[in-house]
Amino acid sequence: MVPVSIQVRQALSKLVLPVLLLMSVGIIIAGQADRPLADKARMRVADVLAPLWGLLSRTQTDSERFVHGIQEARNLAEENHRLSAENANLRRWYEVAVSLARENDALKTELHWVPEPTPAFVTGRVVADSGGIYARAVLLVAGTTSGVQVGNIALASSGLAGRVTEVGAHAARILLITDIASRLPVELESSHAAAIMVGDNSPLPRLLYYSQDTRPIEGERVVTSDQAGAFPSGIPIGSVHYLHPGQPVVQPFARLDRLTMLRVFDFGQSEIEPPEAPGHVPLTRPHRALTLPFKTLLGPGQEG
């Protein structure tokens, strides 16, 4: 250590705090100016910490399972009665479902129905709730090595959870539908009317921009719409609920506050391009070549 006088030492130690404060301001500005770099640094840290978080969450699920097991053992008989009654009921529904599926198959064969491609998906454990007060996001242990890409769709067991926004090698960050940055085109199921679901960091995202003649009905199911090309249509999101008159919100089916597993689907939406519609040819003189690609005519937001 270089020997310095006491005065210099004291002066230096007084300088440390202001210098660090300035540095943090510099980092704030740099992080705002170069967001990809900040995101990359974040994902690197998350990659390193992912196994640790995995360990923590696994310990937690194990202990919860243990406690749950003890609680369950106490009311086994009652549960058994309830389940056998439910089983009888479900068996009836099973018969109905089988006959309906058969009928559906027969009808589809009649109609020469083109089957939709089954989307590829990976399942991962949610290891970190990386959102703070002003953000809602989770971290999933599944990254580019398992085929997760930015823009893929994360589903919980019962409904839509969010979209992949950043991907590392072993971890992916998923922006939940409740985040303030989340805006999704949705469809009200019974009226087929379009609306926008806007997150506001509260557990209940709001419904906006619905048409005034088809207002959302309390309890109506809300599903995704394929309007912007980002989502396939018909993924269940939640049900409409009115907090106050004229202020509809969506109660998500997925329990977004305690996610444990998420399935990430690659619907490959970007590959589907609508065929060029003959009615949409721009008005140009016949001998001049078209300078604009047809894609630009599809309206804003179609490119996904």
Shortest approach of another protein to residue 107 CB, angstroms?
Answer: 44
Residues 158, 231: Cα–Cα separation, whole Å = 17
Q: Do residues 241 and 252 make contact, with C-beta atoms less than 8 angstroms apart? A: no
Nearest residue (CB) to another protein, 191 versus 201: 201
What does the DSSP assignment read for 219-287? T-EEEE--TTSSS-TT-EEEEEEEEETTEEEEEESS-GGG--EEEEEE--GGG--PPPPGGG-----TT
Q: Which is nearer to another protein, 3 or 300 (CB)?
A: 3
Residue length of the chain:
304
Residue numbers at the binding site for another protein (CB under 8 A): 1-3, 6, 16-17, 20-21, 23-32, 38, 41-42, 45-46, 49, 52-53, 56-57, 60, 64, 126-135, 137-138, 180, 200-202, 258-260
| Least CB distance to another protein at residue 35 (A) | 9
Query: Cβ of residue 2: shortest distance to another protein, in angstroms?
Result: 7
Instruction: Say what the alpha-carbon torsion angle 85, 89, 90, 91 is, to the nearest 10 degrees.
Output: 100
Residue 281: is it exposed, middle or buried by C-beta count within 10 angstroms (0-12/13-18/19+)?
exposed
Shortest distance, position 264 Cβ to another protein, whole Å: 17
Classify 166 as helix, strand or coil. strand
CB-nearer residue toward another protein: 26 or 304: 26
Nearer to another protein, 80 or 202 (CB): 202
Which residues have CB under 8 Å from 88's CB, separation 6+?
none
Q: How far is the CB of 173 from another protein (least distance, A)?
A: 9
| Nearest residue (CB) to another protein, 52 versus 101 | 52
